[in-house]
Amino acid sequence: MPRKFSRSGDLFAASPKPIAAAHTAHIDGGARGNPGPAGYGVVIHDASGRKIAELSEYVGHQTNNYAEYRGLLAALGYAHANGIKALKIVSDSELMVRQMKGIYKVRHPELRKLYDEAQQLVRKLEHFEIRHARREHNRDADRLANQAMDRGK
């Protein structure tokens, strides 16, 4: 049975009320030149705030938006591989956050594929939230994304 998603302020949740035991993933993606050498960074904390993973990858010559979605997919993939059922995403990409919330449409065909894949993974979670944060509140993920871009030079 398909799950209905509700909107509440700046959060997008698969369940009507937040779950206290959610993991949090700070994600960032970037491209130098846009398009250019691109990469993402993800920092995942457990429900108690303890850092449990750092992920980053160079994703080739791509756009910022592509790298942002690849970071989101990495966080969702990690959650599923590790039995995490409740996930909060924090991203400095307002565009991607609004697309995932259904506020903006995803028009680019390549991004649409990534968006559809992310939506499928979200539906498998018991709880999902996504929110926008300013870059200064996403420093560790930004650092990892830049390291990934450096690897692609």
Structure tokens at 83: 């039995």
Indicate the number of domains in the chain: 1
Mean of per-residue pLDDT scores for the chain = 90
- Label the pairing between strands 86-91 and 127-132: parallel
Inter-residue contact 26 to 140 (CB < 8 Å):
yes
Asked if the structure places residue 65 within a domain, the reply is: yes
Q: Is residue 119 part of a domain?
A: yes
Q: pLDDT-derived band of residue 21, with 50, 70 and 90 as boundaries?
A: confident
Q: Is residue 1 part of a domain?
A: no
Query: Residue 15: pLDDT above 80?
Result: no
Q: Is residue 91 part of a domain?
A: yes
Query: Nearest 10 degrees: CA dihedral of 94, 127, 69, 8?
Result: -20
CATH code at position 105: 3.30.420.10
Q: 121 is in which domain, residue-wise?
A: 6-151
Q: Give the whole-angstrom CA distance, residue 47 versus residue 36.
A: 35
The pLDDT tens digits of the residues spanning 86-130 come to 999 999 999 999 999 999 999 999 999 999 999 999 999 999 999
pTM > 0.85: yes or no: yes
In a domain? residue 118: yes
| pLDDT level of residue 20 (50, 70, 90 thresholds) | low
